[in-house]
Structure 1
Amino acid sequence: MKLLLTACLTWAVLYTAESLRCHVCTDATCFNSTSQDCPATSTVCKTVTSVIFTGTSVSGTINKTCSSLLSCATPLGIETEWSVNRGFARESHTQLCCVTDNCNIQTLAIPNPAPNGKQCPGCASSADSLAGTCNATVSCMGAEDSCFSGNTTSNSKDVLQLGCISRNLCSNLAAIESLLGSNPRITCGAPWSAKISAALLAFALTAYKALV
């Protein structure tokens, strides 16, 4: 009897782990997504709407898939926008990860492309990034609420990385590595425009005290 009960419980656990169903597709519209059984290693459904800018080229993709929890850079069940903007290249995503059958059927909105008034130091080109000679200014867009700076590694050489980032990515090393490159040593900070305003305020207060 105990053996039968143990077998039933084991089967139930395995069945539950393997029974998640998600919508699956990858193209510009995902009008024809299909519901599929996920493998045991996939415990969440994911839907992502992505826009990638490289120079003058713009591409948009919708991706619905079975996924692992580790691959989700956003909280479960919460539609979240995240973005990295290096000036010469920008990658932005609206993403939802969820844990019930076919919960990723919806197609999310395109990430906000509007400038948000913040600015950060950045690179004018990938060549400047590789050479470490970046001196441009990047206008932040959408969810990009912080500046970032640091280095990644490419062909055993350090590559300078500067620009705007959404702060919800700053503590996600795996996501930053997939977006910027291997071995990231990235620090996030306040928007540059805010830093400039603070510096001007401090200067004004010092000048005022000197005058009076």
Structure 2
Amino acid sequence: MQQTLLSSLLFSIVFTGLIGCFIPIYFKNRFGWKYNKKSSNKTAGYIFLLLAIVFSTILSGAIFKVIELKYSWSIILKYILLFFPMSIGIGLFAFLLIPNTIKKWKKNRAKRVLLVISISIFFFVSFYIDSLFQDIELAATMGFIGLLLGLGYIFLRNFWIVYSSLFIIMLVNTLADNKYDDYNYWVVIISTLLSLTILAFDFIKNRKSKIGT
């Protein structure tokens, strides 16, 4: 029991906090990246995000499973705290780090295609590794969802809007899987606080920079 708790805490701190959140934020500040850019077509962007949400929550039946399970609010809160840091880590890599490593994609169609494919592959690989290379069907599904979210991103170019869609998708599907009801509450609280602290420092740093200029 204690070993499981320590491994969960280590995973939360190292992977979701330091790797998932700190590394992209570090590069963001190191190279002056921005969360959001001017959108090219908001309507198209929202359509792709809506398609991703509908496909992954309604057509998959996940939302109906969640309703049937009749979760208590405390369990729902636990899932929110658990998957906020996980989803923010995935989101920062997919919609901040990857777009900023593919230069001039906004003016080059081939690079936009490369960006969307890269995001899709990232989703596939991330979830395939997360399943310990045992659930390629899940990985393929998430790769397709990543494709839709990537298409939404290239039109909206707004990290927080696209990330919000990802969070909804991950939360609903994880609630439907019903695997983490007994997950330790303190672990999810610590993990969430760590991610929020990193984001808060980034926000404060950016705010001071704007005031300074």
Tell me which protein shows more helix as a share of its residues. 2
Fold match (TM-score > 0.5)? no
Question: What's the TM-score, normalizing by structure 2?
Answer: 0.23
Tell me which protein shows more strand as a share of its residues. 1
Higher relative contact order (CA 8 A, sep 6+): 2
Bigger Rg, which one: 1
